[in-house]
Amino acid sequence: MNRMNRAEIASAAKAQLTPFNVIAALIILASLVVLAIRFTRGLGAVTNLSNPYPWGLWIGFDVMCGVALAAGGYILASTVYLFGLKQYYPLLRPAILTGFLGYFFVVIALLVDLGRPWRLPYPVFYSYGVTSVMFLVAWHVFLYLTVQFIEFCPAVFEWLGWKRVRSWVVKLTIGATIAGVILSTLHQSALGALFLLAPTKLHPLWYSELLPVFFFVSSIIAGLSMVVFESTVSHRVFKDQVNSHHLARLDGLMLGLGKAAAITLFAYFSLKWIGVARGQHWSLLATPMGLWFLVEMFGFVALPCALFAWGSRTGNVSVVRATALLSVVGIIINRLNVSVIAFRWDYAQRYWPHWMELLVTVGIVTVALLTFRWIVRRMPVLRAHPEYQGLQ
Amino acid sequence: MKVRRRDFLKLGAATAGMVVGATAGPTPVRAADPNRERCKAMLFDATRCIGCRACQTACRDGFGMSPTRDGDELYDQPTGLSTTCPCIIQEYRSEDGEEWSFIKRQCMHCLDPGCASACLVNALERTPDGAVVYDVDKCIGCRYCMIACPFDVPTFEYDKPVPSIRKCTFCFVTSEGNVPRCVARCPTAAMQFGDRAELLREARSRIHEEPDRYVDHIYGEHEAGGTAALYLAGVSFDKLGFPANLSDRPIPDLTKTFLNSVPLVIILWAAFGTGLHRFVQRREAGLEEVAEEVETGP
């Protein structure tokens, strides 16, 4: 008996020894070493942060991009529950899970970046700096994390078989959805509003009074694109989780999301030019930073807009799926531009992330992916739970 | 009856979300203090500075900060503001050497400070006397104050596992005779400390009396809404390391429109979301009825 258990454990352990798992384990181990250095010798020991560049990759990518790319949760929840487009329901749970984990790991990244991370709860429980946009971000990320947890609870309770608790939580759905949309609108835009008070530091082509609007509208693009991208990857990786009936419907949904993304990208493209026009910054377009701005605008806004429109019009799902990746990259470029690349673009000693910063970022993304996989393999996320089929 | 109850619950949920959001949103944006210009200030006259750095040393002594030393324990001068040097004398010299000036760099003590408005835990605050002070017991180390400061004043202890922000506080806590140490230690009276309005008058009369000695500009009178560190110099200020493209608008003003719109977004989204949900639900119920009628026939 004992021996058999041991043999079972051994074979189970062997099954875990996939190349992905081995590489993931190495990355996580190395990140932990870096974190040990960071927490004993200070941020300067592992980052290239400085007084002119107090925010680097961990804020620019982990937080700014992390929050934007987690927007799929509120986008899909409002699509299904507020706009009543019930056919999108199969995409809802993975989107909410991606959103929840996205925010959760944004907070983890923040704990790494903050000088005194053990004081993270201060703005919520201890000292209230109500004039700060950061205060708004802190509160809303905290509340939205709670909301997304409530939204994901039905899947957890189905997995645990707690029918009664599940039915209670389901009743909160509409309230949670509306609260989620409000909170997301505010903190997605607030991440842009953070930079409103740095007009002398952010390049004029990216600085605009409309920054909050830009960040909100582009978060819709990020959410839609991430749902397409994430479903593309999931349905390849977790084939066993999805039934064929579901797959057949999926193409139509992808086209619908592509169409929505095309419209939003078009609106975003127009809005961004209003920003340039308001500041009368046309002449700056002929500078090196101006060229980079044009690359962002045409390569990562106009191009995905055209491709999404073309793909969804001609029914070409592969084009829509590929464009989603392009559009996600575009959002990452935009967030990095505002928070790192175009921030103090004219400064002599430019910031460039230290390899250990990069390693920790990759480590956090890896843990997020592993957590996603762990949950998807156990809970009814991509598949419907047999006992709750048809229930929403 | 049933429908009404459901409506009520939904509205209740939306309102709950709204209230939660409203308490979280910084609704009442603090109005700028009307008396903010009646405060203490420091006037630094660059044309009187001899570059002895006595102020710099006094400042570090006061903070208990050790001077920068290399591996052989040799002493060296710092080259800019840092966590061990919150006040520094720098020298400007034009390429042809014709034009030169010393300049003191330290916290500008804005009348409406961007750093304090940016701090999400009120670790940075302006006292009624005009000093922008820092409370290490609240700081969480997010470094947003450093993003907010147009003068790059707050510095962060990147080399410490338990880091703080370091900056000039006008010696607020420990000042002797209510004058910052740097001012007290200056041997040439290049610095004055006193009422801001009086110092502005003094600065104006100096420019008026010796127009060739000074550029016609009191730096800090209007910049970023006015500061409590005021400067006179014989060289234009953009050459002395002050931001050239800074407007007279206080930094906290720049986020006020956004913060004020927060309650609007909450209320409108809550109403629109609830309404939309009801509309969609009704339309669905209507469609079902129609379908039933079609099935059962006339």
User: Is residue B83 assigned to a domain?
Assistant: yes
Angle between helices A244-279 and A303-314 (to 10 degrees): 150
Q: Do B280 and A126 make contact, defined as CB atoms within 8 angstroms? A: no
User: Is residue A197 assigned to a domain?
Assistant: yes
| B111-120: average pLDDT | 94
Q: Which residues contact B4 (CB under 8 A, 6 or more apart)?
A: none
Three-state DSSP at B193 gives strand
User: Is residue A110 assigned to a domain?
Assistant: yes
In the structure, what pLDDT confidence band is assigned to residue B14 with cuts at 50, 70 and 90?
Answer: low
User: Is residue A386 assigned to a domain?
Assistant: no
As a whole-number percent, the residues of chain A with pLDDT over 70 amount to 96
Predicted local confidence at residue B8, as pLDDT: 52
Predicted local confidence at residue B178, as pLDDT: 76
Q: Count of CB atoms within 10 A of residue B169's CB?
A: 22
Cβ-contact B144, A343 below 8 angstroms: no
Q: Identify the CA nearest to A66 among candidates A163, A137, A10.
A: A137
B14, B26, B152: residue with CB nearest A175: B14
Q: For A188-211, what is each residue's pLDDT tens digit?
A: 999 999 999 999 999 999 999 999
Total count of domains within chain A: 1
**Which residues face B125 on adjacent strands?**
B133
Cβ-contact B56, B88 below 8 angstroms: yes
Total count of domains within chain B: 1
Predicted local confidence at residue A206, as pLDDT: 95
Of residues A311 and A378, more confidently modeled: A311
User: Is residue B236 assigned to a domain?
Assistant: yes
Of residues B172 and A335, more confidently modeled: A335
Q: For A168-182, what is each residue's pLDDT tens digit?
A: 888 888 888 999 999
User: Is residue B164 assigned to a domain?
Assistant: yes
Sign for the pseudo-dihedral over CA of A131, A140, A116, B163: negative
Predicted local confidence at residue A383, as pLDDT: 76
Q: What are phi and psi of B75, to 5 degrees?
A: -85, 140
H runs (alpha helix) in chain A: 2-15, 19-41, 57, 66-69, 72-77, 89-113, 122-125, 133-160, 163-171, 173-193, 211-237, 244-279, 288-294, 303-314, 317-336, 355-378
pTM of the model: 0.88
Q: Which domain CATH number covers B156?
A: 3.30.70.20
Predicted local confidence at residue B298, as pLDDT: 53
In the structure, what pLDDT confidence band is assigned to residue B25 with cuts at 50, 70 and 90?
Answer: very low
Q: For B207-230, what is each residue's pLDDT tens digit?
A: 999 999 999 999 999 999 999 999
| Chain B environment of A179 (Cβ under 8 Å) | 13-14, 16-17, 20-21
User: Is residue B294 assigned to a domain?
Assistant: no
User: Is residue B74 assigned to a domain?
Assistant: yes
Predicted local confidence at residue B16, as pLDDT: 54
User: Is residue A85 assigned to a domain?
Assistant: yes
A129, A134, A178: residue with CB nearest B270: A178
Q: CA B155, CA B33: separation in Å to the nearest integer? A: 26
Both tokens assigned to B222: 């209007």
User: Is residue A4 assigned to a domain?
Assistant: no
3-state secondary structure A288-352: HHHHHHHHHHHHHHHHHHHHHHHHHHHCCHHHHHHHHHHHHHHHHHHHHHHHHHCECCCCCCCCC
**Which residues face B105 on adjacent strands?**
B88
- The DSSP result for B98-109, as a single string, is S-EEEEEE----
Q: Is the pLDDT of residue A310 over 80?
A: yes
Q: For A237-258, what is each residue's pLDDT tens digit?
A: 887 777 666 677 888 899 999 9
Three-state DSSP at A381 gives coil
β-pairing, B40-45 vs B229-232, is parallel
Question: What phi-psi label fits residue B229: left (phi over 0), alpha (psi between -120 and 50 degrees) or beta?
Answer: beta
Domain that holds residue A181: 28-41+50-380
| Chain B environment of A50 (Cβ under 8 Å) | 158
| Chain A environment of B116 (Cβ under 8 Å) | 131
Residue where the block lists tokens 């203090």: B33
Q: Do B118 and A197 make contact, defined as CB atoms within 8 angstroms? A: yes
**Residue count (chain B):** 298
Flag the least confident range among A22-31, B1-10, B57-66, B236-245: B1-10
Q: Does B259 touch chain A (CB under 8 A)?
A: yes
In the structure, what pLDDT confidence band is assigned to residue B271 with cuts at 50, 70 and 90?
Answer: very high
Q: How far apart are the first and last CA of chain A?
A: 44
A47, A84, A182: residue with CB nearest B21: A182
In the structure, what pLDDT confidence band is assigned to residue A166 with cuts at 50, 70 and 90?
Answer: confident
**Which residues face B195 on adjacent strands?**
B40
3-state secondary structure B239-250: HHCCCCCCCCCC
Residue where the block lists tokens 């349905």: A235
In the structure, what pLDDT confidence band is assigned to residue B70 with cuts at 50, 70 and 90?
Answer: low
A40, A123, A201: residue with CB nearest B120: A123
Mark which residues 234-253 of B lie under 8 Å from A by CB.
Answer: 243, 245-247, 251-252
Flag the least confident range among A290-299, A306-315, A381-390, B50-59: A381-390
Q: Identify the CA nearest to A353 among candidates A113, A57, A109, A53.
A: A57
Q: CB-based burial of residue B109 (10 Å sphere; 0-12 exposed, 13-18 middle, 19+ buried)?
A: buried
User: Is residue B147 assigned to a domain?
Assistant: yes
Write down the mean pLDDT value for chain A: 90
Q: CA A218, CA A213: separation in Å to the nearest integer? A: 8
Q: Do B277 and A172 make contact, defined as CB atoms within 8 angstroms? A: no
Q: Which domain CATH number covers A356?
A: 1.20.1630.10
| Chain A environment of B146 (Cβ under 8 Å) | 51, 54
| Chain B environment of A41 (Cβ under 8 Å) | 159, 161
| B281-293: average pLDDT | 79
Predicted local confidence at residue B26, as pLDDT: 43
Both tokens assigned to B196: 């801001």
Cβ-contact A303, A265 below 8 angstroms: no
Q: Which residues contact B262 (CB under 8 A, 6 or more apart)?
A: A136, A186, B25, B26, B27
In the structure, what pLDDT confidence band is assigned to residue B283 with cuts at 50, 70 and 90?
Answer: confident
Q: Does B270 touch chain A (CB under 8 A)?
A: yes
Domain that holds residue B210: 40-251
Q: Is the pLDDT of residue B67 over 80?
A: no
Q: CA A338, CA A189: separation in Å to the nearest integer? A: 13
User: Is residue A150 assigned to a domain?
Assistant: yes
In the structure, what pLDDT confidence band is assigned to residue A8 with cuts at 50, 70 and 90?
Answer: confident
Q: CA B111, CA A135: separation in Å to the nearest integer? A: 22
User: Is residue A392 assigned to a domain?
Assistant: no
Angle between helices A19-41 and A355-378 (to 10 degrees): 130
Of residues B297 and A198, more confidently modeled: A198
A120, A174, A186: residue with CB nearest B10: A174
Q: Does B162 touch chain A (CB under 8 A)?
A: yes
Q: CA B46, CA B206: separation in Å to the nearest integer? A: 12
Q: Is the pLDDT of residue B155 over 90?
A: yes
Please calculate the CA angle B113-A348-A339 and round it to the nearest 5 degrees. Answer: 55
| Chain A environment of B122 (Cβ under 8 Å) | 127-129
Cβ-contact A361, A62 below 8 angstroms: yes
User: Is residue A17 assigned to a domain?
Assistant: no
In the structure, what pLDDT confidence band is assigned to residue B30 with cuts at 50, 70 and 90?
Answer: very low
Q: Do B142 and A186 make contact, defined as CB atoms within 8 angstroms? A: no
